Amino acid sequence: MTGLSRDAFSDTVKHYRKLHDDGETSSDERKGAYSTLVNQYYDLVTDFYEFGWGDSFHFAPRFKHEKFRDSLKRHERFLARKLRLYPGMKAMDLGCGVGGPMRYIASHTGAHVTGVNANGYQISKGRKHNEKAGLSHRCEFVESDFMALPFEENSFDAAYGIEATCHAPDRVALFEGVKRVLKPGAYFAVYEWCLTDNYVASDAEHRRIKKEIEEGDGLPDLAHTSEVDQAFVDAGFEVVETRDLAGDGDPETPWYLSLTGGDMSLSSLPRTPIGRTLTNGTLAIAEKLKLVPEGTKQVSDFLNAAADALVAGGERKIFTPMYFVLAKVPE
Ligand SMILES: C[S@@+](CC[C@H](N)C(=O)[O-])C[C@H]1O[C@@H](n2cnc3c(N)ncnc32)[C@H](O)[C@@H]1O
């Protein structure tokens, strides 16, 4: 599991927990240690994610008539359409995970997609998925921190980031780097994890939900939607469109439905409270029997706490994982 040795896994769990312990580490220190924080997080959770989610690690608005996977693909098509991608274009996927969205967007639009990801374990898995899908010539992984993009100026016709730029310690610096490698007139679109206007910083319950989302999802500090807007402006982009998509979809099927068990099926089981409890119990026994490394149950615990916090944030409408921004490099 995870490509880490047993000891490295256990040490990584301890170090990761410490980074999120407010008694030990401040939010500024977490931002300073973002690279370790995010990488350790994805070393620990990628297998859990693939088990529960498949190869696209994001949310989507949900409709009653539509299966979970179809909703993810629709959400990916929405971005591709907004970016006006077509065959022959060169696009960049910031924080591409194991490449589910990249493979779908490349095959759906005919564009070439370069996925940037700092996590070597995800890239090694993603390259195998590309080969299996016969898409290695159209989808390329580059192992790099997206805060220091290793590309020439004006290299790309478009860029996007799906629930990934929320990991950045400094959005303005990140967006400036993206603007540098985009051509004039190119579009850049993101789905951002954000706090909404309903978030009240003086409310202890709201603060607890924010903290559990951060710890369980490897984030240094969640930003408000207005901070994301401002970061695009400060980085020199023209903001074309901004919208929280969390209210799209059917009211009875909110974006966090799959975490509540509201769309129960065999394939959705690992994401539901029952499935998560079963996985948690199995891992606790496996850890006692030394079948999995020490700390595995702790990872499952903080992922569960985060899943509950995401539902609580969604129900209270204080948090969204789909704040959509479309921006353009000035001509
Ligand atoms: C929630 S996952 C989303 C993955 C992908 N966009 C998807 O939807 O399947 C966030 C991704 O951002 C990547 N990431 C986070 N911080 C990064 C950084 N500083 N540089 C490069 N990639 C980063 C993580 O490794 C992970 O692959």
Over the stretch 55-84, which tens digit does the pLDDT of each residue have? 999 999 999 999 999 999 999 999 999 999
Task: Kindly tell me if the per-residue pLDDT of 262 is higher than 90.
Answer: no
Predicted confidence at residue 239, as pLDDT, reads 98
Q: Are residues 172 and 113 both part of a single domain?
A: yes
Looking up tokens 């300073």, which residue turns up? 32
Let me know: does 37 contact 16? Beta carbons within 8 Å.
yes
Query: Which amino acid, one-letter code, is at 189?
Result: A
Is 36 inside any structural domain?
A: yes
Question: What are the pLDDT digits (tens) for 273-297?
Answer: 776 677 777 777 767 777 777 777 7
Cβ neighbours of 266 (radius 10 Å): 7
Number of structural domains found in the chain: 2
Instruction: Output Rg (C-alpha) for the chain, integer angstroms.
Output: 19
Name the residue of 53, 119, 127, 217 whose CB sits within 8 Å of the most ligand 1 atoms, as the mutation to test its pocket: 119
Q: Are residues 106 and 25 both part of a single domain?
A: no
Q: Are residues 170 and 294 both part of a single domain?
A: no
Q: Are residues 304 and 324 both part of a single domain?
A: no
Q: How confident is the model at residue 6 (pLDDT cuts 50, 70, 90)?
A: confident
Is 20 inside any structural domain?
A: yes
Distance 220 CA to ligand 1 centre (A): 13
Is 1 inside any structural domain?
A: no
Residue scoring higher pLDDT (217 or 293): 217
Task: Kindly tell me if the per-residue pLDDT of 130 is higher than 90.
Answer: yes
User: Which protein residues are within 6 Å of ligand 1, measured from CB?
Assistant: 38, 42, 56-58, 95-97, 100-101, 116-119, 122, 145-147, 162-164, 167
147: its two tokens: 């805060």
Residue scoring higher pLDDT (325 or 219): 325
* Closest to 169 measured CA to CA, from 43, 37, 46, 14: 37
Is 107 inside any structural domain?
A: yes
Q: Are residues 115 and 162 both part of a single domain?
A: yes
Q: Are residues 144 and 241 both part of a single domain?
A: yes
Predicted confidence at residue 296, as pLDDT, reads 75
Task: Kindly tell me if the per-residue pLDDT of 271 is higher than 70.
Answer: no
Task: Kindly tell me if the per-residue pLDDT of 111 is higher than 70.
Answer: yes
Let me know: does 318 contact 203? Beta carbons within 8 Å.
no
Is 46 inside any structural domain?
A: yes
Q: Are residues 114 and 151 both part of a single domain?
A: yes
If you average pLDDT over each of 23-32, 96-105, 285-294, which comes out highest?
A: 96-105
Distance 49 CA to ligand 1 centre (A): 12
β 223-224/238-244 pair status: unpaired
Dihedral pair phi/psi, residue 194, rounded to 5°: -140, 160
Distance 234 CA to ligand 1 centre (A): 23
* Structural domain span for residue 236: 68-246+319-328
Predicted confidence at residue 2, as pLDDT, reads 57
Predicted confidence at residue 1, as pLDDT, reads 52
Across the chain, mean pLDDT equals 89
Question: What are the pLDDT digits (tens) for 152-161?
Answer: 999 999 999 9
Task: Kindly tell me if the per-residue pLDDT of 145 is higher than 70.
Answer: yes
Rounded Cα–Cα distance for residues 57 and 271 (Å): 12
Name the residue of 36, 117, 193 whose CB sits within 8 Å of the most ligand 1 atoms, as the mutation to test its pocket: 117
Predicted confidence at residue 32, as pLDDT, reads 73
